[in-house]
């Protein structure tokens, strides 16, 4: 059961972050701009560095972002790495900036969840994800998560329907058995 919950958590993370990651991974047929290339190198360093080296790498990342504040790729990579390393307050600031200029439902849902992880629950944030999903007729992980985090009565019937229609597997929903608090702590330790 525990392994299935972990698998479900990994699946959820992929649903949440693949759209964001695909936006920052340069297409091999296209040449990425220099700041994006530099950010990719910093991201690589972060993943292989010792904990003692990470603050210096984040400092360089911040300098790069300050130099190129309008570069969405740099901002996204910086934000994702802040969140991955547990720097939630700064990550939230960056998410809010992203959502003002380069809004996506996934980034908004991430903002909602990080706020809640920091003890600043924003019900309206989740409601906005639901509303946008319904306007776009997108029944996806963003929508499902927003329904779950708002205790929306449509969550369980939708879950059952998606499993019955084989759009999702039962195991994809195991993460929700953790409850909101534990789920947030798994996503954002």
Residue-range domain boundaries for the chain: 2-187
Confidence of residue 32 (pLDDT cuts 50, 70, 90): confident
What CATH code would you report for 2-187? 1.25.40
pTM above 0.75, yes or no: yes
Whether residue 55 contacts residue 47, with contact meaning beta carbons closer than 8 Å, is answered with no
pLDDT by residue (tens digit) across 155-185?
A: 999 999 999 999 999 999 999 999 999 999 9
Q: What contacts 132, CB < 8 A, 6 or more positions away?
A: 105, 108, 138
Phi first, then psi: what are they for 49, rounded to 5°? -85, 160
Write the secondary structure of 21-55 as one string of H (helix), E (strand) and C (coil).
HHHHCCCCCCCCCHHHHHHHHHHHHHHHCCHHHHH
């Amino acid at each position: 059961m525990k392994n299935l919950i972990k698998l479900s958590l990994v699946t959820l993370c992929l649903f949440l972050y693949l759209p964001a990651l695909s936006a920052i991974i340069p297409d091999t047929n296209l040449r990425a701009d220099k700041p994006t290339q530099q950010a990719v190198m910093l991201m690589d360093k972060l993943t292989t560095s010792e904990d003692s080296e990470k603050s210096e790498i984040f400092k360089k990342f911040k300098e790069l972002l300050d130099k190129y504040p309008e570069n969405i790729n740099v901002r996204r990579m910086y934000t994702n790495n802040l969140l991955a390393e547990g720097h939630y307050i700064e990550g939230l600031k960056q998410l809010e900036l992203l959502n003002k200029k380069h809004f996506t439902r996934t980034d908004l849902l991430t903002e909602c969840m990080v706020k809640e992880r920091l003890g600043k629950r924003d019900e309206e944030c989740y409601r906005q994800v639901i509303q946008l999903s319904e306007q776009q007729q997108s029944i996806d992980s963003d929508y499902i998560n927003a329904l779950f985090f708002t205790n929306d009565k449509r969550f369980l019937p939708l879950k059952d329907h998606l499993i019955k229609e084989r759009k999702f597997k039962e195991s994809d929903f195991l993460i929700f058995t953790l409850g909101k608090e534990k789920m947030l702590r798994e996503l954002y330790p």
